[in-house]
Amino acid sequence: MQKRTLGNGGPAVSAIGLGCMGLSFGYGPATEKSEGIRLIRAAVEKGVTLFDTAECYGPFVNEELVGEALAPFRDQVVIATKFGFQNGDSKQPLDSRPEHIRAVAEASLKRLKTDRIDLFYQHRVDPNVPIEDVAGAVKDLIAEGKVKHFGLSEAGAQSIRRAHAVQPVAALQSEYSLWWREPEKTVLPTLKELGIGFVPFSPLGRGFLTGAIDATTSFDKTDFRNLVPRFSEENRKANAGLVEVLGKIAGERGATRAQIALAWLLAQQPWIVPIPGTTKLHRLEENVGAASVALSAADLAAIESALEQITIVGDRYPASLQQRVDR
């Protein structure tokens, strides 16, 4: 697979990464451990080298899964994980105090069965801890060789600048896709100016852009999407137009909706590396195949023109989680 570099000084990784959260957390019952290991190792065989996890996915079990799955390939891959919640639990308050960051790093190293974290993200900006202190704490871990690169997640342009001034930020991880383009306003220009890579999560709209979800779809009771306004039955019906447009474009190009959605992201900037997640081998193969789908300027213009006719309905987070998104 093609390689891309995250930021001016960040790691070189596969053009498509793998978001591992859904194997353990967020989208219904966890995948059987052996199946999760099989899928992650299949991704390695297909050329994927960027694997994304976090202590709060589970909590903790996703890091353990990723660590075990990637142990035989450790020097061939880039492992990203995150800190930022009390007790590693995303339902608890934020905590990015420097002493907590260090404790999380030590615990994550053990769970990941490794001696270094390749990319260490602050999971959400903590309004109670100056971002300069956060960057300084990670800078110390980098100096000790325990962390290779510093990242931020869902951070706004001002926070990115302040952190970057203390310790260069290799990558920002935030939601970005054909149905969530907010980063284009201020975040993407800031990343381009500062030479920071961008890792879009939920690049397939939490599955919606694949066409596999419609107004009649029912989710497991533990599925996060039950809480997301954009996934109400009414809003899924209202947003079906986007899926229809994607289907038309995909059909004309001999690709799938998911591949067009991912190829569109790859075409935006050479330093964008999406991390679609999946629990299914055939979806993994489909997503990886997107790296070979080249969209021309005419293709991109056609997509843009079609999207201008569509209004996406519904918030991407419930109000309680939206409060944690930095501006």
Active site positions, annotated = 57
Contact in structure between 58 and 65 (CB atoms under 8 Å):
no
Contact in structure between 37 and 62 (CB atoms under 8 Å):
no
- Helix/strand/coil for 5: strand
For residue 180, the 8-state DSSP code is: B
Of 255, 220, 273, the residue nearest 22 (C-alpha): 220
Residue type, 76: Q
- Helix/strand/coil for 22: helix
Integer Cα distance of 173 and 166 in angstroms: 19
Of 48, 64, 53, 39, the residue nearest 1 (C-alpha): 48
187's tokens: 């975040």
Contact in structure between 262 and 202 (CB atoms under 8 Å):
no
Q: How many residues does the chain have?
A: 327
Going from the C-alpha of 139 to that of each of 88, 111, 134, the distances in angstroms are: 21, 22, 9
- Cis previous bond, 183, omega within 30: no
In degrees, rounded to 5, the angle at the alpha carbon of residue 105 between the alpha carbons of residues 103 and 88 is: 70
